[in-house]
Structure 1
Amino acid sequence: MAPFSFPGAKTAKMSLDIYSQLVLAIYIFTFLIGLPSNLLAFYTFLVKVCQTPTPIDILLLNLTISDIFLLIFLPFKMVEAASDSKWTLPAFLCPLTNFFYYSSIYTSSLFLMAVSIERYLRVAFPIKYKLWRRPVYAVTASVIFWMVSCAHCSIVYIVQYQVQSPNGTAHAINSSNCYEEFSPSQLQILLPVRLELFLFPFCLPFTVTVFCYVNFVRIFVALPKIPARKKQRAVGLAVVTLFTFVVCFAPYNLSHVVGFVQNQSPTWRVYVLLPSTLNASFDPVIFYFSSTAVQRAFSDCLASLRCKLRAIVTWCSLSCLTRCRKGDSEVEAASRDEADGLTT
């Protein structure tokens, strides 16, 4: 007799497969687009910082490093998605991967805020900004941002290894699921920390960024001697940055508030976490609008790719043409041989 199965089980399995395929597609897209562009931006900013360090280049370099950390550990998330959201890798990689995964979200938020402050001060108080502009301030802010982000996201390790169950025994997360299923005692620690993540490393940077970019665009566009192209770049920088906050970071951080109110981890949290991954592929657009050096690097890279593609296409065309001519010669030779045979 065939075993009895519930009708909803097959639907749930199908939805899980679709979700895993969607997650894998987003991860692959982010990795293929984000890694080469961020590595190119990293090299460009590193050269600039080594030659003539400026606050904006130091901040953007750290933002690039944050994205690269996410992209380095993203293949582990790909393996998880390909395994139907089951963690099949060594257990120690689970908290390590999620630590860098979540740290990238809040590190990016803080550095995007710092970039917006730098842009605003540069146009609102140009004289004072030139007097007080020091690379050491950007380095200090970068160290603080990394410490704040890493300290908050260390909750991944705390929940994974150190939370005790009500009966006093250690409770570990199910090894087949990586940071998705939590006990009530773990939620007592995790939910308040998530709410604090929403209030401080997200709401504060988002509010400051909105204020700075709205005023930055208003002042910059009103300047009479600024070329129209630079004004368009300023508007593009503000739009892309705010788009990153609203689309990539806001849905996931709002799930923290919902989870705190409902006293449970929302089931839809895994879906709103996906757009935050795309941040690593959106940040290079911010680099492009923020730095002329990055624009030149991207332009040179695209020009080099076009030349290589043109050379490959030319080589393929010549190769096909040579083969066709060789084939025609062989056909003509065979025809002549056949004609000579008939004549004989």
Structure 2
Amino acid sequence: MDALTEAAAVNAATPGMTAWGNEAWLNLTDVNGTNLTESCEAHSADFQYLMLPIVYSIVFVLSMIGNLTALAHFLHSQSATQPSHVFLVNLCAIDLLFTLTLPLNVLYHVGHNHWPFGEEACKVNGALFFGNLYGSSLFLMLISLDRYLAVVHPLRALRLRHPKYRILLSCAVWLALISVILYLTLRVPATRPFPSGLIACMENFSSDSWHGRVSAVILLASVLSFFLPLSVIATCYPLIACRLLSRQAEDSEAGGGVSAQRGSRRMRRRALRMVLLVLAVFLLCFTPYHLNQLLHTLARMDVLAGCPILRFTYPMRRITMALCSFNACLDPLVYCLASESFQWRQAWRCCRCDRVSKRLRRTLGRG
């Protein structure tokens, strides 16, 4: 399911385009609007029917284990509203919502991109997919900014430590996501039947749509949810590294107890690893998708030469979608480094203790 970028490449019902099975032929126009008589044959992406179900199944298992464990820890320890945990809880929630769609996407791709679950389910599925795609990057940016303030500007961070500021920022992210998703899912039908009998989900934008508001929304969303967060995260990391290295030199000159120096070094390494991990997750999971999407959108707008670009972006979209999904099972690693109180062993112990206490209460209640 590749809602924004797949549409015109496989749309069987739009003018100037026919699609059967796994092949698509596009009648393109140049930048002056002149119709190109030659057809552009998009490369087949049959590998997706095996690759995506396998990847999504692995991500589903790992993400459910990691994110449910993290969420149980935050709720059990009553730390969900702690300043440093507000963004983590939101990231965990948005990953879990995306993870719930993966079984349906597995069936969709196993059935050669056939959606049997209806129009409304397709819209919900697409909304959760893009909510995770855009929302995760924004919350990762906020986590990096939060850690930057705590390390580089600790006094300012203390003044802004009240959780209400983080809750307001989180609400703003959710409102922005809902606005964009509703715009994209409500204005056009979500499903489209193929001549072969297959029903595509969120692959139905017409050629005219790419020259209208759809492309504008895609480009704006890419700037705000990818290029902006990438710039912020890439800026925060070297600033945090420089600050931590300068503090290390100051601690060495000041002397102090051995245990205090070790604790300080441990905290510095933890903060540095966290921001580096956020940057690595961002580059691995989101950069390939957004760059490929940018090329595809510009080609559909006739800004770039259509055929050569589309021959490349059509199969690459499926590969980059698989990379995006790994974000949901890599984010729990961020929780480990961003939250000093979060330990996997302790989290599992909390979950087991909670289950035991519930069983005990049920047993006593029956008695």
> Could you state the TM-score of these two structures normalised by the residue count of structure 2?
0.71
Per-residue Cα deviation, 1:237-273 (whole angstroms, up to 9, x for no partner): 1222111111111111113321232126742323212
Counterpart residue number, 1:217: 241
Unmatched segments (≥5 aa) in structure 1: 1-8, 163-171, 306-344
User: Contact 2:70–2:347 at 8 Å: present in 1 too?
Assistant: no
User: More deviation in 105-114 or 235-244?
Assistant: 235-244
State how 1:248-263 maps to structure 2 within 5 Å.
248-263=285-300
User: Contact 2:22–2:46 at 8 Å: present in 1 too?
Assistant: no
Distance 1:249 1:11, change over 3 A: closer
How far is 1:207 from its partner? 0.8
RMSD: 2.8
Counterpart residue number, 1:70: 98
Query: Aligned match of 2:209 in 186, 210, 226?
Result: 186
The percentage of counterpart residues that share the same residue type is 23
How far is 1:38 from its partner? 0.1
Distance 1:189 1:52, change over 3 A: closer
For residues 109 and 286 of structure 1, the distance between their equivalents in structure 2, rounded to whole angstroms, comes to: 13
State how 1:45-60 maps to structure 2 within 5 Å.
45-48=74-77, 50=78, 53-60=81-88
Distance 1:52 1:279, change over 3 A: closer
Counterpart residue number, 1:124: 152
Counterpart residue number, 1:241: 278
How far is 1:213 from its partner? 2.2
Counterpart residue number, 1:274: 322
Number of positions where the alignment pairs a residue of Structure 1 with one of Structure 2: 285
Distance 1:10 1:195, change over 3 A: closer
Distance 1:211 1:293, change over 3 A: same
User: Contact 1:38–1:68 at 8 Å: present in 2 too?
Assistant: yes
For residues 213 and 58 of structure 1, the distance between their equivalents in structure 2, rounded to whole angstroms, comes to: 21
For residues 159 and 189 of structure 1, the distance between their equivalents in structure 2, rounded to whole angstroms, comes to: 11
User: More deviation in 286-295 or 149-158?
Assistant: 149-158
Unmatched segments (≥5 aa) in structure 2: 1-19, 24-43, 252-260, 302-309, 353-367
User: Contact 1:113–1:205 at 8 Å: present in 2 too?
Assistant: yes
User: Contact 1:44–1:293 at 8 Å: present in 2 too?
Assistant: no
Q: Does 1:301 align with 2:348?
A: yes
User: More deviation in 260-269 or 94-103?
Assistant: 260-269
Larger of the two Rg values belongs to structure: 1
Per-residue Cα deviation, 1:268-293 (whole angstroms, up to 9, x for no partner): 32321221111000100000111122
Query: Aligned match of 2:69 in 10, 16, 40?
Result: 40
Per-residue Cα deviation, 1:72-93 (whole angstroms, up to 9, x for no partner): 1211111112212221222221
Structure number having the greater helix percentage: 1
Alignment-mate amino acid for residue 192 of structure 2: I
State how 1:83-162 maps to structure 2 within 5 Å.
83-161=111-189
For residues 319 and 80 of structure 2, the distance between their equivalents in structure 1, rounded to whole angstroms, comes to: 42
How far is 1:228 from its partner? 3.6
User: More deviation in 185-194 or 139-148?
Assistant: 185-194
Structure number having the greater strand percentage: 2
Q: Does 1:28 align with 2:57?
A: yes
